[in-house]
Amino acid sequence: MRPWSPASLESLRRRLPSPPKWLVLPGGLRPWITLGSLGFVMAALLSHGRQLVQLRLDGQGWLWLVLGVGVSLLSLLINGVAWGVVLHWLGLRPVWAAVVELHVATNLRKFLPGGIWHLASRLERLRNEGAPLAAPVGTSMALVAVLLDPMVAVVAALALVSLGGWQGGLGLVCLLPLVLLLPRWLDPLLARLERRRARDLGLEDELQQELAQGADLVRSSLRGYPWQPLLAELAFVLLRFAAFCCCIQAFDLPLGSDAPVWLAGFALAWTAGLVVPGAPGGLGVFEAVLLLRMGLTLPEAPLLAVALSYRLIVTLTDLLAAALVALDRRLARQPPVATPPSGSPSQ
């Protein structure tokens, strides 16, 4: 059985009846998801505010948080390397240092409204300048290169959920997205995501023009399973979890033998923060899913403190990384200081 083509899916969508007007939310679904998630977290803060104030970090706890910043910074670098692995798997020629620099420099833009501007920035660089590639690429290939990175990261994170055990069948369900990376399913999925992102970014006409000229062969040429990108994204998500573990240790919550359960809860919350629309950087969504998933077996006040400290750590890391890249670029643009030739008279 062949998977449905994007044209068939679009034709089916047009035949489906439109939802009643009373079901259409003002402003769309995205802002309501963000408001609902933030409202849930605020309610938890108000409910456990007194307990949160009573929590105190000792010197060792602060050291754990500092270590978490370092691990989170390392995870950003590995995330950039993982994107380079994706580009290489696509048959492109990444300039590795430029790949990591661009990925880190644009990562902070995920917090802008819409949650797509970090992807848009990378897309423009791939299309117009080529950097971090040896040469520029077309809109279709640039979209594939930008979209495949978070897609593989989501699949990798969901696979880690299964390490937490059966979980009422959730462990098995979270392994199913691994099938989506087979070329049989990856090709039509990328085609649909391409068109959606092109429409969001105003590139639909350019994409259609390229597809009419045969650029659709980009996806049909993908053969084999993307093992290398998947393993690279697994390393990135595990490093993110390591930074999260630093927050757990800072507040003396039990880890040890419960590490697989923590990993499953973290991976599920991290995935939700990445894929849920309308939540820039997963703000509010990650915390809400983590509280709902882990709050049944753990005291909610320390768990909320762990979630908020992790949010603080990764945000500070994004700011620090972007500042370091900006400083490096500024220093690279400064001309070297001229030195007088040897033997010239001193002034």
Going by C-beta distance under 8 Å and a sequence separation of 6 or more, which residues neighbour residue 17?
Answer: none
Q: How far apart are CA 302 and CA 309, in angstroms?
A: 10
275-319: pLDDT as tens digits: 887 667 778 889 889 999 998 888 888 999 999 999 999 999 999
Categorize the per-residue pLDDT at 12 as very low, low, confident or very high, splitting at 50, 70 and 90.
very low
Amino acid at 42: M
Q: How far apart are CA 322 and CA 326, in angstroms?
A: 6
Q: What is the pLDDT of residue 282?
A: 79
Domain that holds residue 99: 32-48+56-327
Check whether 174 has a pLDDT greater than 90: yes
Domain assignment of residue 78, yes or no: yes
Domain assignment of residue 17, yes or no: no
Q: What is the pLDDT of residue 225?
A: 93
Going by C-beta distance under 8 Å and a sequence separation of 6 or more, which residues neighbour residue 65?
Answer: 57, 246, 247, 250, 309, 313
Q: What is the pLDDT of residue 9?
A: 41
- More confident of the two residues 161 and 209: 161
Check whether 39 has a pLDDT greater than 90: no
Check whether 31 has a pLDDT greater than 90: no
Contact 309, 66 (CB under 8 A): no
CA dist 338 → 332, 333, 334, 335, 341 (Å): 15, 15, 12, 9, 9
- More confident of the two residues 154 and 214: 154
Domain assignment of residue 246, yes or no: yes
Q: What is the pLDDT of residue 1?
A: 38
Two structure tokens written together for 310: 């992790």
Helices (H), the chain: 6-15, 30-47, 49-54, 59-89, 96-107, 117-124, 139-161, 170-173, 183-200, 204-212, 217-220, 227-250, 259-275, 285-294, 300-333
Q: What is the pLDDT of residue 257?
A: 80
Domain assignment of residue 7, yes or no: no
Categorize the per-residue pLDDT at 341 as very low, low, confident or very high, splitting at 50, 70 and 90.
low
Contact 199, 119 (CB under 8 A): no
Domain assignment of residue 332, yes or no: no
Contact 253, 302 (CB under 8 A): yes
Q: What is the pLDDT of residue 97?
A: 93
Q: What is the pLDDT of residue 104?
A: 94
Categorize the per-residue pLDDT at 33 as very low, low, confident or very high, splitting at 50, 70 and 90.
low
Domain assignment of residue 23, yes or no: no
215-259: pLDDT as tens digits: 555 555 566 899 999 999 999 999 999 999 999 999 988 887 889
Q: How far apart are CA 122 and CA 197, in angstroms?
A: 13
90-118: pLDDT as tens digits: 989 999 999 999 999 999 888 887 778 89
Average pLDDT in the 45-59 region?
78
Length of the chain: 347
Among candidate residues 261, 281, 284, 296, the one with its CA nearest the CA of residue 160: 261
Check whether 52 has a pLDDT greater than 90: no
Please give the DSSP secondary-structure letter assigned to residue 181.
G
In the chain, % of residues over pLDDT 70? 81
Average pLDDT in the 122-140 region?
86
Categorize the per-residue pLDDT at 211 as very low, low, confident or very high, splitting at 50, 70 and 90.
confident
Please give the DSSP secondary-structure letter assigned to residue 24.
S
Query: pTM of the prediction?
Result: 0.85
Domain assignment of residue 120, yes or no: yes
Residue with tokens 């990445």: 274
Q: How far apart are CA 148 and CA 123, in angstroms?
A: 12
Residue 63's SS3 state is: helix
Two structure tokens written together for 132: 């971090």
Q: What is the pLDDT of residue 331?
A: 87
Q: How far apart are CA 191 and CA 188, in angstroms?
A: 5
Domain assignment of residue 341, yes or no: no
The count of domains in the chain is 1
In the chain, % of residues over pLDDT 90? 50
Q: How far apart are CA 163 and CA 47, in angstroms?
A: 32
Q: What is the pLDDT of residue 16?
A: 43
